[in-house]
Structure 1
Amino acid sequence: MSNKESFELGYVYHVYTHGNGKDLIFRENENYRYFLDKLLKYIAPIAEIYAYCLMPNHFHLLLRFKNLKSIPDNDEHKYLMKQFSNFLNGYAKAYNKKYSRKGALFLDYLKRKRVDDEKYLKKLFHYIHNNPVSHGFVEVIDVWKYSSYLSYINFHKESKIERKEMMQYFDTIKDFVEYHKSNVEYDFLTKE
């Protein structure tokens, strides 16, 4: 699978990118909140968001594009990429203005991998939520505030995250927590 593969409606994707060079894309709590607001504004109308993790210099999203009735110009990929472009450019402009910086905030391309396999999907779900632990920002997963993990363990609270799809892989919240605290081999990383 290529990072340049086209987006298609109805499919699940792992979408991620890094800050340009060694730039941070999140410096403070307000940045994370603003990014999530933009995510809901631009991406939630076109995709069900299953998981996310925001890290100081990169982010991960796990989502399924909705089967939208009509796409302008009949070009799914172009339309979906335009939504991501509006999302990331809007965030970058506000970030640059706030911190008096110029230039690209993100790498010049959005990495994306289509997820066609349930085993891969479940491992990826674990990987995204455990990113802050893997990178040494926290020792335990439930301390990181900037991922969808807390939305899942607080399942009774309303959320914009589409949790039902991924919870079908777990009998209970306790099973979900135990899975996320277990060691999972990320064999897919060598392919990315």
Structure 2
Amino acid sequence: MKKNSNTENFESGYVYHIYTHANGNDLIFREEENYRYFLKKLEKYINPITEMYAYCLMPNHFHLLLRFKELKEIENEHFYLMKHFSNLLNGYAKAYNKRYNRKGSLFLDYIRRKRVDNKKYLLKLLHYIHNNPVNHGFIEDINDWKYSSYQSYINFSKESRIERKEMMQYFDTINEFVEYHKSNVEYDFLTIE
């Protein structure tokens, strides 16, 4: 039986695709400062409990690809891990609402999540997440989007908070990584609502 992507429990040690959308037709990010602020919140609440493999922030939604670090002596892992996401989204939404004199929920009531259980799915997600701005028509060239982890990979010599080694084990060179992202990949079994 297929698990619903809104109810699947988080477990430490596993890789997940996590994504959510703005409520209705709202935007999550209106200006560059919004993206920077969200990334700071991500670093504060999510980086301590994860190895981040990829992300992409879009005007009305975002995608994360990450592995939860192993936890010791935590009774309810899902609740503990979910609390970090709650803190991220609530903290960001409060600041956003204050800045734009806005009221109400900014995000959908839940974060969608899907456990990644094989290499093929993992690599398709990496491609999908980094190409999201191209697929949505915001840019034509993947290099032109500033709010994803793609630049971190192609500038491998620069320090990054992205766990690049995990993903780069599937590519012999940076050029192979770049060519993979330029290729047409069928997202046939990506269940993204």
Q: Same fold (TM over 0.5)?
A: yes
- Root-mean-square deviation over aligned CA pairs: 0.9
| Structure-2 residue corresponding to 1:152 | 153
Structure 1 residues 190 and 51, CA gap change in structure 2 (3 angstroms): closer
- TM normalised by structure 2 equals 0.96
| Structure-2 residue corresponding to 1:119 | 120
| Structure-2 residue corresponding to 1:170 | 171
Q: What is the number of residues matched between the two proteins?
A: 190
| Equivalent AA in structure 1 for residue 35 of structure 2 | Y
| Structure-1 residue corresponding to 2:187 | 186
Cα pair 2:121 2:190 within 8 Å, conserved: no
Structure 1 residues 56 and 171, CA gap change in structure 2 (3 angstroms): same
Shift of 1:191: 6.7
Residue pairs, 1:125-140, within 5 angstroms = 125-140=126-141
| Structure-1 residue corresponding to 2:104 | 103
The alignment partner of 1:45 has SS state of helix
Residue 10 of structure 1, aligned match among 10, 13, 18: 13
1-structure distance, mates of 2:95, 2:12: 29
The alignment partner of 1:51 has SS state of strand
The alignment partner of 2:48 has SS state of coil
**Deviation string for 1:91-134 (max 9, x for gaps)?**
00000000000000000010000000110000010000000000
| Equivalent AA in structure 2 for residue 92 of structure 1 | A
1-structure distance, mates of 2:31, 2:187: 30
| Equivalent AA in structure 1 for residue 179 of structure 2 | E
The alignment partner of 2:190 has SS state of helix
| Equivalent AA in structure 1 for residue 71 of structure 2 | L
Shift of 1:69: 2.1
| Equivalent AA in structure 2 for residue 139 of structure 1 | E
Shift of 1:2: 1.6
Residue 71 of structure 2, aligned match among 37, 62, 68: 68
2:41 aligned with 1:38, yes or no? yes
2-structure distance, mates of 1:15, 1:117: 16
Segments of structure 2 that go 5 or more residues without pairing to the other structure are none
**Deviation string for 1:134-161 (max 9, x for gaps)?**
0000001010000000000000000011
- TM normalised by structure 1 equals 0.97
